[in-house]
Structure 1
Amino acid sequence: MKPTRISTTPCRPAPVGWPAAVLFDRDGTLVHDVPYNGDATRVRPVPAAEAALGVLRRRGIPVGVVTNQSGVARGLIAEEQLRAVNRRVEELLGPFDVWAICRHAPEDGCACRKPAPGLVLQAAARLGVPPAEVVVIGDIGSDVDAARAAGARGVLVPTPVTRPAEVLAAPMTAPDLLTAVLLVLGGAR
């Protein structure tokens, strides 16, 4: 299947109707990526994050976060630091309807760590929506792969760390978060 590409607004309509919920990766997608960030003062939203979330919230579409945080398992950040960073994200971007967090290391082999579907399935269940009606927006291939594995739709918003192969494999891409949200809403503002 050939990936859908967009590069300008107005964006192309999404292939199906509005999602029942939109889940976002945290680091590199909603906020600038600071590896193993345990310092809430270093949290900075990416451009258009607030606007993208506002579009969804005004339509009553639940929003959530699905994030791998292996720094906890690796002993690089404490649980309280993780909670403080997540609180700061909400202070800057508003409340999220659900948070699904994998604290495992990659070698733990858990079912929740993206690209496994566990976080997406967990968030969808907590929101009471079918995974097939969920969209996951992220900056790397594991975000899109987790969506696919859960039966959800994925949208990739590439950053400098996104590998070219991940961009080519993504079913949908967008140049920024606001465009990604408009894409899944069929261009509605």
Structure 2
Amino acid sequence: MSAEQAKPEFSRPVAVSRIGSNGLSMEIKAEPHEREALAQRLDLMSLDRLEATLAFREKADGVVLEGHLTAKLAQRCVVSLQPVPVRIEEDFTQYFSENAPSDAELMQRAMEEGLDFFAEAEDEEIPDPIVNGRIDAGEAVVQQLAMLLDPYPRLPDAELPARRRGVTLNGEDEPLAKANPFAELAGKIQK
């Protein structure tokens, strides 16, 4: 099974036809086996809670998803490798459309317009695709969670244990003095 065909760990498909003019609200919660699989996918030490309150509404060219995400997890400290407890409470909005560009189309556009395209694209609200008339609400929540994770989690009191020449640590202003390996030789030659 290829990565594109792999089933998401926390899949909650929503048929767009169910949304209607009044919208659709729902609450979703990851089960223990789903949280375990997501912790592995997101390189977390643990994922003790993941749930979201979601509201879908139609818009002219697709669907708007407004949600509130709650998560309790532990990431690995980049210094000590100990658990860094994290609690996330975050609102988010995501757009979906049948006409959303594919990943290949986005990459082609980036190749033509340069890397600045990605910075400019944030203003355009590029929608995520509606696939076969469905939106995977669970995967949308997981993507939001992934964006909210600290890429370099660190415990407040974690310090690097070793000092090396030429390296500053934990707020020091100047590096340790460099030893000149030729200074000793120069002293011997002058004698």
TM score, norm. by length of structure 2: 0.24
Which structure shows the bigger proportion of residues in strand conformation? 2
Name which one, 1 or 2, has greater alpha-carbon Rg.
2
TM score, norm. by length of structure 1: 0.25
Which structure shows the bigger proportion of residues in helix conformation? 1
